[in-house]
């Protein structure tokens, strides 16, 4: 299950370094990804509303975390009122 599965594997490997113990971990990334993908399915009205609300936001499958964070932060700033931007700038310090 993505990060949860990776955490379980890391925990099991760490536990093996401390004790004589083994684990059977069964992870299905495919099923998790299918479930996660379906969370993002929208009907045509929802898609249009989201695109209209976030004009200029272009997220691509090849964007790495740094560019995703930069693009999303810019979109969030666009929708925030000026007092929220002050709080955001304080938190960035």
Domain positions in the chain are 1-41, 46-93
- Answer whether 0.95 is exceeded by the pTM: no
Collect all residues with Cβ–Cβ distance below 8 Å to 57 and sequence separation of at least 6: 71, 72, 74, 75
Would you say 85 and 77 are in contact if contact means Cβ atoms under 8 Å apart?
Answer: yes
List the pLDDT tens digit at each of the 93 positions of the chain: 567 778 888 888 888 888 888 888 777 767 777 877 778 778 888 888 888 887 878 888 888 888 888 888 888 777 666 665 555 566 565
């Amino acid at each position: 299950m993505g990060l949860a599965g990776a955490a379980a594997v890391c925990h099991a490997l760490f536990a093996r370094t401390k004790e004589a113990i083994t684990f059977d971990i069964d992870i299905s990334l495919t099923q998790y990804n299918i479930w996660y993908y379906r969370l993002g399915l929208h009907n045509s009205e929802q898609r249009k509303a989201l695109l209209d609300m976030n004009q200029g936001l272009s997220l691509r499958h090849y964007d790495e975390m740094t560019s995703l964070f930069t693009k999303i932060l810019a979109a969030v700033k666009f929708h925030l009122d000026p007092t929220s931007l002050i709080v955001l700038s304080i938190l960035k310090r």
